[in-house]
Structure 1
Amino acid sequence: MKSATDFELIYLHRDPVDFRKSINGLTVIVEQEMALSPFSEALFVFCNKARDKLKVLYWDNTGFALWYKRLEKEKFKWPKKHSQAMMALTEQQWCWLLSGLDISRMQGHQAITFERVR
């Protein structure tokens, strides 16, 4: 499997998904609810209603791949429902989510740029 850094974008579907859905059902959600192309260089992340399972869908130029994670004791800190069906994640937020941290409350340092050294 590619690592998260191999993907240009990481999209999280906010609403819970019926985990009986597999690749075909999840690609329909990506196209119809998220209004994105499942063939893009992106990870598409889905969670079940109990928030203890994740499915990650991606296209690897030869076919679709589906990654699955089940937590044994804890729950994922999933962002609250919102008017938008999805949200884009940074690589850092993706790592936080997998580590059990609440990505809606965490913020990294703001990037700053300088024109020159004083």
Structure 2
Amino acid sequence: MLGDITVAKEIYIAYGYTDMRKSIDGLAAIVQEQFHLDPFSKCLFLFCGKRRNRMKALMWESDGFVLLYKRLENGNFKWPRRETEVRPISWQEFRWLMEGLEIEQKGAIKPALPGAFC
């Protein structure tokens, strides 16, 4: 299905600025060469420009790449700016990002790992 991002196994956010003139080939090259990840995996890769009001998402479907582009009319994305870094984010962090919030919410309850009693 065209652009169904819910099939993505993981979401990766590219910190820092990305040249928004880059298209599918340029963004796939960043994923492969700079971040050492496989652009053909079932992952969603997120990129943001310098003004932080535009975002591109790249994902491989079984027959080709899908490139999604979002431009905000009011406000900007709270995009992390550590240079040349990529990290996986959860679906909850993705929702926060799309709602104009930072992906690292200080007041959020973090998922707990199962532990031993006593």
Unmatched runs of 5 consecutive residues or more in structure 2: none
Query: Residue 18 and residue 110 in structure 1: after superposition, are their counterparts in 2 closer, same or farther (change >3 A)?
Result: closer
Deviations 1:59-117 (A, max 9, x none): 001000000000012010011315x521110000001000100113346423344779x
RMSD: 1.8
Q: Which amino acid aligns with 1:3?
A: I
Aligned partner of residue 32 in structure 1, secondary structure = helix
Query: Residue 88 and residue 70 in structure 1: after superposition, are their counterparts in 2 closer, same or farther (change >3 A)?
Result: same
Deviations 1:6-53 (A, max 9, x none): 211100111211111100000000001111000011000000000000
Unmatched runs of 5 consecutive residues or more in structure 1: none
In structure 2, what is the equivalent of residue 103 of structure 1?
103
In structure 2, what is the equivalent of residue 2 of structure 1?
4
In structure 2, what is the equivalent of residue 92 of structure 1?
92
Q: Within 2, Cα distance between the matches of 1:14 and 1:68? A: 17
Aligned partner of residue 26 in structure 1, secondary structure = helix
Aligned partner of residue 97 in structure 1, secondary structure = helix
Q: Contact 1:7–1:41 (CA<8 Å) still a contact in 2? A: yes
Moved over 6 A (4+): none
- TM-score, with length taken from structure 2: 0.87
Aligned partner of residue 96 in structure 1, secondary structure = helix
Q: Which amino acid aligns with 1:79?
A: P
